Amino acid sequence: MTAALRATAVRVLQQLRHDHRTVALLLVVPSLLMGLLAWMLIDRPGVFDHWGAALLGVFPLIVMFLVTSVATLRERTSGTLERLLAMPITRADFLLGYGFAFGIAAAIQATVISVIAFGLLGLDVAGPIWAVLLVAVLVAVLGTALGLFVSAFARTEFQAVQFMPAVIIPQLLLCGLVAPRATLPRPLELVSDVLPLSYAVDAMQRLTVETGVGSRTWLDMAVIVGFIVAALALGAATLRRRTP
Amino acid sequence: MDDDVAVRVRGLRVVRGAREVLHGLDFDVRSGIVTGLLGPSGGGKSTLMRAIVGVQAMVTGTCEVLGLPAGSPPLRRRIGYVTQAPAVYADLTVAENLQYFAAVLGAPRTDVDRVLEQVDLADQRDRMVRELSGGQLSRSSLAVALLNSPELLVLDEPTVGLDPVLRRDLWNLFHRFADAGATLLVSSHVMDEAQRCDRLLLVRDGEIVADETETELLARTGTPTVEAAFLALADRLEGGGAA
């Protein structure tokens, strides 16, 4: 890890630490939503187990995508990105610094939600809880990587938040939570095969019903890592040292 | 390259969008002095500075900085650059900002305290940047550019909106850097600041209209102030003036 990468991760976490309200929202809102879901399904045994783990994989994608796209846009509009790119920092250091910082934030978020879901709300999965947490953190880093990439296409915060419905909601609809992917019309099933959230939800659903971590689940995680690398590479391509 | 030339510009053109904003500039910035880049807003000063720092796209012609083509990676730790808008993180303290940029530059750890002293912000080091006044904010941005003791400082309007005492102190600081061997290129749209500079580059509509000392400029145009000299030159270029 280079000094510039480490310094960038520390700096992003410091910014987050100074923003108490955002930290509170990051931790409290998903936990409350998980509680709402448990309450909704209280009279339907087993259904919360099916949905709960899947949602643990969906929250970090939405939250980290939004936080990162706004944070990066602010770097672009405030001139700090231009200043940084005039300094000896590589684009990889910049991108991975964000990835590390929000990955750590997501790990804390996923841990808090898990403690509440598994400890308080009685969520029960057959697989190991560490694997559920691992998928949640991978999805969070994916959200960060996608946010870094799309922020290049937004000029204002208003535009940046509009990318959430554009990028995330199609994935939510097609990931298998609304309807099993095998029942989708063939063209839509093919589309869902190339969307990263499909693999996260598959992995979570497999961890819900299978003991241990099967090879298919590892494969799903590897696919998510592949999407992270691709999104970061696209993000790096949008970071230009020379701008018009 | 001569030792006494820090920046050598020949036939420099910059296109932004469909418009050419710098029209083939030729000049040198001499080492170890304070050169003022003066002219009205919209004349191309910021674009010229961005070209020298190496962050401007669509640049053609020659632009050599410290003997290397502008934008070369080795230059990134030898140039200090202050953008017109203060480019610091509002949601960090002054010291956290400086520690971050110092780590990116690989500057010595003692640099943070040194630059805080130099811009007179030592007593504000633990305040959040968003709580600073306008003058403190622009000084915090200037402090970042002083990290790692760069050989060339490119400062885009660093004294705008500061109170006169502070402005005088900053110009004195700039001259101390120059006396210590650094080269400074400082832009301003306030013509009065010419008297603070060792040499002047007057920019108007993407052209250099003067490249000399203040004394030479006033003698050549037969005017009492730089403002009047600028008007005289502008009138001459437009073929005799508006009257």
Which residues of chain A register pLDDT less than 50?
Answer: none
Report helix, strand and coil shares of chain B as percent, to nearest 5.
Answer: 40, 30, 35
B77 token code pair: 């730790």
What number of residues does chain B have?
Answer: 243
pLDDT in the model for residue B204: 94
pLDDT in the model for residue A154: 87
Residue B154 sits at the chain A interface (C-beta within 8 Å)? no
The answer to whether B85 and B50 have CB atoms below 8 angstroms apart is: no
B89–A3: do the CB atoms touch at under 8 Å? no
Residue B243: band (very low, low, confident or very high) from pLDDT cuts 50, 70, 90: very low
- Cβ-proximal residues to A41 (8 Å cutoff; 6+ apart), any chain: A47, A48, A51
Distance, in Å, from the CA atom of A93 to the CA atom of B112, rounded to the nearest integer, reads 22
B51 token code pair: 């070209």
- Rg of the Cα trace of chain B? 18
**CA distances in angstroms from A20 to A24, A25, A28, B75, B91, listed in the order given:** 6, 9, 12, 39, 11
Residue B2: band (very low, low, confident or very high) from pLDDT cuts 50, 70, 90: low
pLDDT in the model for residue B109: 87
- Check pLDDT > 60 for residue B1: no
Beta bridge partners of residue B80, listed in sequence order: B153
- Phi and psi dihedrals of A184, rounded to 5? -70, 150
**CA distances in angstroms from B181 to A45, A185, B112, listed in the order given:** 77, 72, 21
B105–A87: do the CB atoms touch at under 8 Å? yes
pLDDT in the model for residue B242: 47
The 10s digit of each residue's pLDDT in A96-124 is 999 999 989 988 998 999 999 999 999 99
The 10s digit of each residue's pLDDT in B114-158 is 999 999 999 999 999 999 998 899 899 999 999 999 999 999 999
- Check pLDDT > 70 for residue B241: no
Whether ipTM exceeds 0.85: yes
Residue A78 sits at the chain B interface (C-beta within 8 Å)? yes
Tokens 């805080």 belong to residue = B116
Taking contacts as CB-CB distances below 8 angstroms, the residues of chain A near B89 are 11, 15, 78, 80
**Averaged pLDDT for residues B160-175:** 89
**Averaged pLDDT for residues B18-27:** 96
Taking contacts as CB-CB distances below 8 angstroms, the residues of chain A near B53 are 86
**CA distances in angstroms from A228 to A196, A224, A237, B174, listed in the order given:** 9, 6, 14, 46
pTM, entire model: 0.90
Task: Tell me how close the Cα of A128 comes to any Cα of chain B, in angstroms.
Answer: 39
By CB neighbour count within 10 A (0-12 exposed, 13-18 middle, 19+ buried), where does A242 fall? middle
The 10s digit of each residue's pLDDT in B176-216 is 999 999 999 999 999 989 999 999 999 999 999 999 999 99
For chain A, what is the HEC assignment?
CCHHHHHHHHHHHHHHHHCHHHHHHHHHHHHHHHHHHHHHCCCCCCHHHHHHHHHHHHHHHHHHHHHHHHHHHHHHHHCHHHHHHCCCCCHHHHHHHHHHHHHHHHHHHHHHHHHHHHHHCCCCCCCCHHHHHHHHHHHHHHHHHHHHHHHHHCCCHHHHHHHHHHHCHHHHHHCCCCCCHHHCCHHHHHHHHCCHHHHHHHHHHHHHHCCCCCHHHHHHHHHHHHHHHHHHHHHHHHCCCCEC
Residue % of chain B over a pLDDT of 90: 86
Taking contacts as CB-CB distances below 8 angstroms, the residues of chain B near A241 are 54-55, 71
**CA distances in angstroms from A102 to A5, A15, B157, listed in the order given:** 13, 11, 35
**CA distances in angstroms from B75 to A56, B52, B64, B72, B211, listed in the order given:** 46, 11, 11, 6, 25
Q: Choose the closest CB to B56 out of A15, A78, A242.
A: A242
Task: Tell me how close the Cα of A78 comes to any Cα of chain B, in angstroms.
Answer: 6
pLDDT in the model for residue A17: 95
**Averaged pLDDT for residues B97-119:** 95
pLDDT in the model for residue B71: 94
Taking contacts as CB-CB distances below 8 angstroms, the residues of chain A near B54 are 86, 241-242
